[in-house]
A and B are shown apart, each in its own frame.
Chain A
Amino acid sequence: MKKVIIIRWGELHLKGKNRDYFQNLLEENIKKALKDFEYKFVKIIGRYLIEDFLDLEETSILNKLKKVSGIHTASIATSVTTDLDEITKVAVELSKYKRGTFKVETRRAYKEFPMQSTEISRVIGGAILRENDNLSVDVHEPDFTVYIDMRDKNSTLCYTDVIKMMGGMPVGSAAKGMLMISGGIDSPVAGYMMAKRGMKLDAIHFHSYPYTGEAAKEKVITLAKKVSEFTGGMNLFVVPFTEIQEAIHEKCPEEYMITMMRRFMMRISEKVASFHNAQAIITGESLGQVASQTVESINSSNSVATIPVLRPLIAFDKVEIIEIAEKIDTYETSILPYEDCCTVFLPKYPIIKPKLDKVLKVESVLDVDALISRAIQNIEKIEL
């Protein structure tokens, strides 16, 4: 008798001929997430099993697995030899302190076992009822289910809970993206969403010392690190942005400050993306949330990008974004109020619907290429 973690995937089986590719990725990602643990990885049909781990590491392993995209559900099961008495003993133990209604669901992959699934369920259900007066059977809407999974002669898995995991697709199955990360609530969530869809990520941050301080940068590193737990590591590129901000502030009309900044950030992000084989840029933009997130504003920054700019939060409400931020544990960090790169030079009345021809004219006074190349030369790379 031993503890086993059952890992189930969802969408992967939809992928036809690519299934092996997706499964290999998932397997690799799981092994990477569990690199600090001792365990045995077992592949069975439709599931993976984590076996032979230390009891006291069960929670830590499960928490790591919760951050591996592509895993849809998991269960912590007890594995026993396929012997009805043994199985019954475990099933009784599992339901010992429960109350309410239950059913037993048996899956008999080990066809040599001399009883039918329904019969097995009935026998085990009867034993559970005898041992616990607080339970009754309800096969339609039970409060909990005792699952009996007969794999082979040596092993039957018994469990009651199916834990919802991250879902999505394995990271690495959808190329790499460059996440523009600001220190706010939205961008880490955007990164998480793309990781969930299988994207590997690097992140880029624009830092304006002394207008933004070390604490603000540390905050971004903390956030990026949290996102990187879902992507199996990432690089964070910190771009010195002070000179560009000062140049825009000096030479362009105040109301275009943010529009101009966004265009510079987009250009630099694309350059860095291409150096590091990222094929898309990810932003946390959400339509209409602030002045720079109108369609017109998005158009003005989008027009300098030649690779796709993915905006997974574009139609999300703030409360929906916050909900995810809380789930992935970035919210508390995001709301720390250090000077944000925008706030110092924030215009009183930013232009809400910039026209592209006007934007180009405003920008023409700046030596865009020189500014960008100086910023890129001084990028700091942080491996997370």
Chain B
Amino acid sequence: MGNILYFDNAATTKPLISAIEKASVYNTEKFYNASALYHNGLEISKELAYSRQIISRSISDDFDVIFTSCGTESDNTAIFSYCKRGNAVTTLGEHSAVHNAFTTLKNNGYDARFATLNKDGSVNINSLLSLIDKNTVFVSVVHVNNETGAVNDINKIAKLVKGINSRIVFHSDGVQAFMKIPYKLCDEIDLYSVSAHKINALKGVGALFKNKKIRNLKPYLIGGGQESGLRSGTENVFGIKVFEYATETHLKTLKTDYSKALELKNEFINGLNLNRFTIISSETSSPYVICLSANGLKGEVLQHMLENDGVIIGTGSACSSKSPHSRMLKSIGYEPSVLDGVIRISFSFETTINEVKTLTTLLNEKVEILLKTMNL
């Protein structure tokens, strides 16, 4: 296979070589343990503090940043820290890192509640609010849905939620939003999870943003007391520095990249033979993620046909691609014939219009071939 066209950026992104090179010194001369009390260690600890600041200010007004190993760990830390009494509310549109944490709580007898979704995968706000009561301690709403790209206005939702019960801790999984769509976290948001490898940094690094107002977050990993005691384990300095550099790089062009992604999305949808495909994502969804279904066909087969021509697309969320149908889309009520055909196209800041044109041409072509073979 020669040149690969990669349209599965919601699964992971290609790391920025410049960021890796710049950070490589943390694998060589600056290898010291940030917890050490000698000068070399203290230097590293200061550099981490700087990373924290850059990443924090990229989307918030001075939230604390706790480095973790991934988005999943950030989500789990938040959820298991607070969901111990009362009840907790989330949506049916969460990534497995939140969804399965909630189902685990529910299976253990905890009162975990799930709000229903709109057709595009965004949360039905009325459903969400109706589940909240005076005993609710925790609410988690995904910012950008990883399968459809549906954007939940978490600032608005957090305010509505706190309007009902101000003591609630509000968490959002921002893995697909961070450094993709322009926003700032409002003060009603308490916790926010992000992941480095979705923004052209490395796997193995994530962060949990913590509003300085909340005080009783409990660590999920206990040990040497790193990250202000909230996440023990020797810091992945190299990974964190790459994360910082990638954040910095994206921040500079966030708005222009966003408008460019909107153009890509339009190009994609306009180029597609809509007699053959159902677009599941809505107009207001993140332009970086487009969910669609090749009616009556199998998404995985289409994926393999494109792969043969060097084009990589996704079928639903990679983290859940081990189960045949998308749990989330099923909960919205899509028919099996639509669920079978689901594919996910996700762009990066590097994706070009020409690449998208190649993709739509190929998709249109392959779908006809497949329909013919299947006698449909």
Contact = CB atoms under 8 A, between A and B. Distances in A.
Genuine A/B complex? yes
Interface of A: 209-214, 246, 249-250, 336-339, 344-345
B322 A337 contact: yes
29 contacts: A209-B304, A209-B308, A210-B301, A210-B303, A210-B304, A210-B305, A210-B307, A210-B308, A211-B298, A211-B301, A211-B304, A212-B304, A213-B300, A213-B303, A213-B304, A214-B304, A246-B373, A249-B374, A249-B375, A250-B373, A250-B375, A337-B322, A337-B324, A338-B300, A339-B298, A339-B301, A344-B298, A344-B301, A345-B374
B323 interface: yes
B375 to A, nearest CB: 7
Contacts of B298: 211, 339, 344
> Chain B CB within 10 Å — which of A210, A249, A250, A339 has the most?
A210
Contacts, number: 34
B184 to A, nearest CB: 40
Nearest to A336: B322
Nearest to B373: A246
Interface residues of B, number: 14
Contacts of A211: 298, 301, 304
Contacts of A212: 304
B169 to A, nearest CB: 36
A339 B324 CA distance: 8
Interface of B: 298, 300-301, 303-305, 307-308, 322-324, 373-375
Nearest to A343: B298
B300 A339 contact: yes
A238 to B, nearest CB: 15
Contacts of B373: 246, 249-250
Contacts of A336: 322
A128 to B, nearest CB: 44
A323 to B, nearest CB: 23
A252 to B, nearest CB: 11
A337 B304 contact: no
Contacts of A345: 374
Nearest to A245: B373
Contacts of B374: 249, 344-345
A168 B308 CA distance: 45
Contacts of A337: 322-324
A362 to B, nearest CB: 16
A336 B308 CA distance: 23
B320 to A, nearest CB: 11
Contacts of B300: 213, 338-339
B187 to A, nearest CB: 44
A338 B308 CA distance: 18
> Chain B CB within 10 Å — which of A214, A336, A344 has the most?
A344
Given A210-B307, A212-B304, A344-B374, 8 more contacts: A210-B305, A211-B301, A211-B304, A213-B304, A214-B304, A336-B322, A337-B323, A339-B298
B285 to A, nearest CB: 27
A214 B375 CA distance: 24
B137 to A, nearest CB: 36
B295 to A, nearest CB: 15
Contacts of A246: 373
Nearest to A250: B375
Contacts of B323: 337
A338 B322 CA distance: 7
Contacts of B305: 210
A211 B324 CA distance: 14
> Chain A CB within 10 Å — which of B303, B304, B308, B375 has the most?
B304
B67 to A, nearest CB: 32
A209 B306 CA distance: 12
A249 B374 CA distance: 7
Contacts of A338: 300
